[in-house]
Amino acid sequence: MRLEIDSQQVRPYYDSLGDGMVQLSFTLPLENGPVAHRAAMETLRKMNLTEISIVESRSIAPGFTFFLAYAKTTFSVDAEQLASEVELDATLDYYEILKLARAKLDRPLVVVGATLESDAHTVGLDAIFNMKGFAGHYGLEHYFCFETHNLGAQVPFHRLIRRIKKVNADAVLISQTITQKGLHLRNLTKFVDLLDAERLRNKLIVIVGGPSITPELAKELGFDAGFGRGTIPEAVAGYIVNEFLRRRDV
Ligand code: B12
């Protein structure tokens, strides 16, 4: 049986299509008990949820309680409207990128990558760089048109900038996963400021990626492009080659 879905009124569902039910988990800094329970209910009501049911409340440390709840949302979203606002993905594939590079580039582009400062999460950056690639897509090391320098984890600002200068980079790829207390925002803003101070910003294609990165956030922070969850290497490779050619040919 094919379900009829109204894409102008999309709602979460749990039991039956369109029921609006969501599952939430959160922690309150209160001892598990009736007061914490009421505080949790009140928290959910203030989110404008209805039909609230708290299905789990567990003490996770003295003075802290973890809650799991089901509740009903009372709104819908218009996915048709959203689809018209989303930029169409014009990603070139691996072979199209190589063809473009062979036709238009007279040298490999130098690409430096790192996870900044305290951030130790390298899996995402490696997915983009590594020869064997990610989800069946070759990484940048597999393309003849890139000279790659993946510096790995926890690279301090000054070391990254030194390497950018030493290899005369065309593009720099930063990965940021940890977002606790806005750490990524501080790191990324400082990095762009340092590039400015070193008069490197305008000579480089500056890219950031990570699970919480969106193209909009990247632009806001002064980067040329941002890539989020599920990015495949072709999207990044195609962007670098196209952006390099665009700047060179103006
Ligand atoms: C593996 C892992 C670790 C490993 C990392 C090992 C390593 N070498 O990378 C270890 C055990 C070291 C670790 C440590 C910590 N972790 Co951790 N970790 C994870 C975990 C389970 C998976 C991350 C991952 O590898 N994803 C797979 C990759 C392929 O996905 P991705 O990173 O999103 O990358 C894709 C895109 O985002 C994008 N992309 C990413 N980077 C870049 C860069 C560029 C340039 C581009 C173009 C694209 C791009 O492309 C990639 C491919 O599509 C996540 C939870 C989760 N399930 O996501 C927690 C998680 C990221 N960790 C977390 C935390 C809190 C920590 C610790 C603070 C825990 C602790 N208290 O010690 C420490 C911090 C260490 C540190 N100093 O950074 C939190 C982060 C919360 C937050 N938002 O701040 C998470 C979400 C877990 C959680 N739910 O709490 N962690």
Would the CATH topology of 1-86 be identical to that of 90-248? no
183 C-beta closer than 6 A to ligand 1? no
Q: What is the DSSP string of 128-165?
A: HHSTT-BTTB--GGG-TTEEEEE--SSB-HHHHHHHHH
Domain layout of the chain by residue ranges: 1-86, 90-248
Query: What confidence score (pLDDT) does residue 87 get?
Result: 59
Rounded distance between C-alpha atoms, residue 137 and residue 122, angstroms = 17
Helix (H, G, I), strand (E, B) or coil at 28: strand
Helix (H, G, I), strand (E, B) or coil at 111: strand
Determine the atom of ligand 1 nearest the C-alpha atom of 180: 84
Query: What confidence score (pLDDT) does residue 91 get?
Result: 78
Query: What confidence score (pLDDT) does residue 249 get?
Result: 85
Determine the atom of ligand 1 nearest the C-alpha atom of 178: 84
104 is catalytic: no
241 C-beta closer than 6 A to ligand 1? no
Rounded distance between C-alpha atoms, residue 173 and residue 154, angstroms = 14
Can you read off the two tokens belonging to residue 178?
């940890």
Query: What confidence score (pLDDT) does residue 11 get?
Result: 95
- CA of 227 from ligand 1 middle (Å) equals 15
Q: Note whether 115 and 148 are within 8 A (CB).
A: no
Nearest CA to ligand 1 atom 56: 211
Residues 6+ apart with CB under 8 A from 244: 105, 109, 170, 171, 205
Nearest CA to ligand 1 atom 5: 121
The amino acid at 66: F
Q: Is the pLDDT of residue 2 over 80?
A: no
Mutate to test the pocket of ligand 1, among 132, 140, 177 (most ligand atoms within 8 A of CB): 177
Helix (H, G, I), strand (E, B) or coil at 181: helix
Query: What confidence score (pLDDT) does residue 83 get?
Result: 78
Kindly state the average pLDDT of the residues 121-125. Answer: 97
Residues 6+ apart with CB under 8 A from 115: 121, 122, 125, 152, 153, 154, 155, 174, 175, 176, 177
Query: What confidence score (pLDDT) does residue 89 get?
Result: 54
The answer to whether domain 1-86 has CATH 3.30.60.50 is no
Say what the pTM is. Answer: 0.84
Topology adopted by domain 90-248: Rossmann fold (3.40.50)
pLDDT tens for 19-51 read 999 999 999 999 999 999 999 999 999 999 999
pLDDT tens for 139-185 read 999 999 999 999 999 999 999 999 999 999 999 999 999 999 999 99
180 C-beta closer than 6 A to ligand 1? yes
Please, what is the average pLDDT of the chain? Answer: 94
Sheet holding 109-115, edge to edge: 146-150, 109-115, 171-175, 205-209, 225-227
